Every structure is written in structure tokens, then in C-alpha cells.
Amino acid sequence: MIGRRLGGGNRPVGSPAVGAALDRLGVGHPGGYTHEIVFRRCPACGERNIVRDGDFTCALCDGDLPAEWNVDEVAGRGHG
């Protein structure tokens, strides 16, 4: 799949259709993610975060970030 993975529940941006389209055009591609980026929304403050080096801590308020995907959730409503 071409694109970025948004993390945890592994919601990708991109599509197998992108890879298929590039194949039809004869354009080379890596066939997978070149760099995985994990995003989480902080349940305490609603900030979107990039998880780096496995540190699930909010960069803004130092709150704990959930292990599972939650970026689709409405900010301020928390996880679960």
C-alpha cells in the first residue's frame, strides 16, 4: 500500500488502488509504506500527536495517549 499508516488500529492513508494505478502506468513504487507514522489524539486536551519511539505521551499536556487508534474521535470527548 502506498501512503502513510496512521497507527494502531492501522488506519492507512492511501489505498491498494494507488499501487495498482502506478503498476498500470509502469511507475515503480516500494509496494508498501516507506515510513510508518503513528498518530493519537490526547483524551485529556484533544491535541493530535505523533507517537515517537513508542512514547505514548502528549507533547502538549504530558497526558497518556491510548494504545489504540482514536484520531477519528471528536476532540474533548476522550477515548472509549
Residues 16-41 have pLDDT tens digits of: 788 888 899 999 887 777 777 899 99
Residue 65 is which amino acid? L
Measured CA to CA, the distance from residue 71 to residue 22 in angstroms comes to 29
- Tell me the domain boundaries of the chain: 1-73
Strand partners, 4: 13
pTM of the model: 0.58
Task: State the residue for C-alpha cell 502506468.
Answer: 25
Q: Does the structure show a pLDDT above 80 at 79?
A: no
Handedness of CA 68, 72, 74, 75 (dihedral sign): positive
Question: In the chain, what is the greatest distance between 2 CA atoms, to the nearest angstrom?
Answer: 47
